[in-house]
């Protein structure tokens, strides 16, 4: 049973999206990807740490040959974006000529995604797309074309299902929003 409210550091959070709602969104994304990549073998590049649950559940729902790799970037401090993106752990696979799909937990300002699209695009993949579980359209500061979006949400600070507040909260199967 999931708690009615959670407390992380100095903040309170209330239930926002259930694990069942997340599973439905992921199933829809998987169906799109299964169709769009039916004749390809895409490389999924999951952005750590936040996307680990999303990436695991999405790949379990795919029925196409595919590979996965992980990169780590950071642009958050506490509850707000620093606006600076630092690549911490880079991609080791050769992606030239490959179909690449970046897996991200959430796109809000778009700083991280802009940097990733530019960096990976320079390596000349056959195609480069983004699949994000969450998107905050009102927060975008970059023009981005994100083909695969699980859920568009308002500008609420959320935790759970891989998303954290200063390291805490990733382990919850549901998503909570700050109150």
Contacts of 80 (CB under 8 A, 6+ apart): none
- Using alpha carbons, list the distances in angstroms from residue 179 to 7, 9, 85, 135, 156: 10, 13, 27, 20, 9
Q: Identify the residue with better confidence: 74 or 18.
A: 18
Rg for the chain (alpha carbons), in Å?
A: 16
Distance (Å, whole) CA 134 – CA 148: 10
Q: Identify the residue with better confidence: 46 or 112.
A: 46
Q: 108 catalytic, yes or no?
A: yes
Cα dihedral 22, 27, 33, 35, rounded to 10, equals: -160
Q: What is the mean pLDDT of residues 156-167?
A: 96
pTM: 0.91
* pLDDT tens digits along 117-135: 988 999 999 999 999 999 9
Cα dihedral 101, 70, 155, 129, rounded to 10, equals: -10
Q: Which of 57, 105, 108, 164 is catalytic?
A: 108
Residue 113's Cβ-count burial label (10 Å; 0-12, 13-18, 19+) is: buried
Distance (Å, whole) CA 121 – CA 127: 9
Q: What is the mean pLDDT of residues 65-77?
A: 82
| Residue 82 confidence (pLDDT) | 56
| Residue 90 confidence (pLDDT) | 78
Domains by residue range for the chain, with CATH: 18-158 (3.40.50.2020)
């Amino acid at each position: 049973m999931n708690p009615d409210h959670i407390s992380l550091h100095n903040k309170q959070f209330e239930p926002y999206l259930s694990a069942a709602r997340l599973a439905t969104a992921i199933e829809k994304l998987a169906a799109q990807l299964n169709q769009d990549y039916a004749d390809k073998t895409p490389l999924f590049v999951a952005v750590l740490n936040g996307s680990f649950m999303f990436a695991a559940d999405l790949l379990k729902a795919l029925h196409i040959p595919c590979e996965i790799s992980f990169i780590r970037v950071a642009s958050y401090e506490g509850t707000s974006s620093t606006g600076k993106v630092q690549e911490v752990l880079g991609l080791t696979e050769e992606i030239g000529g490959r179909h690449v799909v970046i897996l991200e937990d959430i796109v809000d300002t778009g700083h991280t995604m802009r940097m990733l699209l530019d960096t990976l695009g320079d390596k000349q993949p056959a195609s480069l797309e983004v699949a994000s579980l969450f998107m905050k359209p009102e927060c975008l500061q970059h023009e981005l074309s994100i083909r695969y979006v699980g859920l568009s949400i308002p500008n609420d600070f959320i935790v759970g299902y891989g998303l954290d507040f200063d390291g805490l909260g990733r382990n919850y199967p549901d998503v909570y929003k700050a109150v």
